[in-house]
Amino acid sequence: MKSTGSLALLAATLLMSQAVAAQELNGADTAWILTSTALVLFMTIPGLSLFYAGLVRSKNVLSVLMQCFALTCLMSLVWFAVGYTIAFGTDGVEQGKWIGDFGNIFFANIAIDSVKGTVPATLFAIFQMTFAIITPALIVGAFAERMRFSAMLLFSTLWLILVYSPVCHWVWGGGWLGRMGLQDFAGGTVVHITAAVSALVAALVIGPRRGFGTVAMPPHNLTLTVAGAGMLWVGWFGFNAGSAVAANGSAAMAMLVTHLSASAGALAWMTMEWLRHGKPSMLGTVTGMVAGLGTITPASGSVGPAAAVLIGLTAGVVCYFATTYLKNKLRVDDSLDVFPVHGVGGILGTLLVGVFASTQLGIFSGNGFSSGITTMGGQLMVQATGVVATLVYSAVATFILLKVVGTLVGLRVDGDEETQGLDLVLHDERGYDL
């Protein structure tokens, strides 16, 4: 009996030590997430800023840069004030299915010695802040060249609070989709679907640019766009590999599959243009790269290298046709192709997790289904539920928010102001003075 009691005591001691160790800071994890945080912020400023700026006409280049920069500042403070607590709540408090508790308003329960897993809680909060920055910034591409600056700021603030933060909680903060077993490693639903669906709704509500479909609106500076695309590619390593929240094999695999998918996506889109139009374009190649990155994002912690190549190739082809169909057939002026690239990519990647997470696909095998799910069909059903729920909620909420903002401050500049360009009309500056 003494022996049995001693063993039980030893086991309890080991369990307690493991629990304590789990809350101890890990230097390697901390260093990696510090780096990842900087990389994700790098994606917005300067990456996304330059990517978008090069795609608009010269009279609107500063307006896009201003929107991305201002959103970086504003979304940081909104996340600090209320966004984080809605998404993640307070450590040690049981979280609800829909939103987090409000104990971390103004980061009230995050101190210098607070720990989240193996990294400082302060670091986890700012890492997640960079996601909250780039997600509404993605929407800018849909209404570029025609939305009022004041309307953009008000809409983005409300959107972060009422759309992004709740969905983030559903998936990553202990909410109902996470409990169901949804696998979204770095933001297929949380980032790409929310932003892209909202972008599509915004494009429809605000309406097309003057002359859309009859006047050529080519990118004014593809050099800026390519530079921004390169920054996005590099920053995406922090986005996906950083989502492991540790310096471990999962982070390394996420980095590898991210790179492979981006490469495959770029080549697939380039090939489609080459076959259909006789020449590959630089714009198409970088757009395919972004499609590959967006599509692998939800799957980056679930799939292996071979599957990542297939995902990237699929993304390049599917997103290419989605872009063509939306612009040429449906005549929707999603100015910078947010929905067909990020939205279609996010949906595709989230669903493909249900396939390639399987451990029974040979070289294409992944890391396994979620706990309690034993079949591909079961995982696919969960993934589809996450896609549909995120899509419907984002669309409805965004529509309501746009109508409210439109009533309060007006959504779009008038026709003469649009013709003159937003740089001068809204900011009294020029992007170029040659």
Q: What is the pLDDT of residues 103-135, one digit of tens each?
A: 999 999 999 999 999 999 999 999 999 999 999
Q: Quote the tokens at residue 160.
A: 């972060």
Tell whether the model's pLDDT for residue 22 goes beyond 70.
no
Query: What confidence score (pLDDT) does residue 243 get?
Result: 97
Would you say residue 61 lies in a domain? yes
Rounded to the nearest 5°, which phi and psi values hold at 235? -65, -30
Burial class for 253, CB neighbours closer than 10 Å (0-12, 13-18, 19+): buried
pLDDT of residue 26: 96
Place of tokens 């600090």: 80
Cα angle 51, 56, 62 (rounded to 5 degrees) comes to 80
Q: Is there a domain that residue 434 lies in? A: no
User: Which residue in the block uniquely carries the two structure tokens 């998936």?
Assistant: 171
Query: Which residues form the domain of 160?
Result: 26-427
Mean pLDDT score of the chain = 93
pLDDT digits (tens, 9 = 90+) for 366-397: 999 999 999 999 999 999 999 999 999 999 99
Nearest residue to 283 (alpha-carbon basis) of 46, 55, 42, 45: 55
Kindly report the CATH number assigned to the domain that includes residue 415: 1.10.3430.10
Q: Please report whether residue 10 resides in a domain.
A: no
User: Which residue in this structure is represented by tokens 């995120």?
Assistant: 390
| The model's pTM | 0.92
How many Å apart are CA 105 and CA 236, to the nearest integer? 29
125 backbone φψ class: left, alpha, beta (φ>0; ψ -120 to 50): alpha
Residue-level pLDDT at 23: 65
Q: Which of 334, 385, 378 is nearest to 357 (CA)?
A: 378
Q: By the 8 A CB rule, do 353 and 295 touch?
A: no
Record the tokens describing residue 126, joined without a space: 């700012």
Token pair for 334: 């999603």
pLDDT digits (tens, 9 = 90+) for 29-73: 999 999 999 999 999 999 999 999 999 999 999 999 999 999 999
**In the predicted structure, residue 301 carries a pLDDT above the cut 70:** yes
Whether 167 maps to a domain, the answer reads yes
pLDDT band at 216 (very low <50, low <70, confident <90, very high): confident
Task: Provide the number of structural domains found in the chain.
Answer: 1
Establish if 191 belongs to a structural domain. yes
Residues 415-433: b if buried by 16+ CB within 10 A, e if exposed = eeebeebbbbbbeeeebee
Share of the chain above pLDDT 90, in %: 90
The per-residue pLDDT for 3 is: 43
Q: Render pLDDT for 161-214 as a digit per residue (tens, 0 to 9).
A: 999 999 999 999 999 999 999 999 999 999 999 999 999 999 999 999 998 988
Check pLDDT > 80 for residue 16: no
Tell me, yes or no, whether 45 lies in a domain. yes
Contact assessment for residue 114 and residue 94, using Cβ atoms and an 8 Å cutoff: no
Is 4 a domain residue? no
